[in-house]
Amino acid sequence: MTAAGARLLRFLVEETEGLGREEALERLFELGVVGAKRCEQALLRREVGRLVEAGRGRCEAMEEVAERCACSYGKVREAVYYKPKKI
């Protein structure tokens, strides 16, 4: 981890110290440091990954997740192929 990444991590720990898990996550959302779009992308990626691991084809898995999550196939596809940058 870079020095900048370590500073950010310390900041997040300080802001959430003493809070329960859900309270800490709520605090991070309030601060604007956790984005709903990136969280949703991670959720969609995880769901597709689980279906693929269970033996479904990737396209079929993306279609099923889109239907289950009431969003477009394109949104799921974008989430699956989006590669987040590391700090």
Task: Enumerate the domain spans of the chain.
Answer: 1-34, 36-81
Q: What's residue 87's pLDDT? A: 59
Q: Is the predicted pLDDT of residue 86 greater than 70, yes or no?
A: no
Residues in the chain: 87
> What pTM was computed for the model?
0.75
**pLDDT (tens digit per residue) in 31-80:** 999 888 989 999 999 999 999 999 999 999 999 999 999 999 999 999 99
Sorted by sequence, the CB contacts under 8 Å of residue 15 that are 6+ apart come out as: 27, 28, 31
Q: Is the predicted pLDDT of residue 27 greater than 90, yes or no?
A: yes
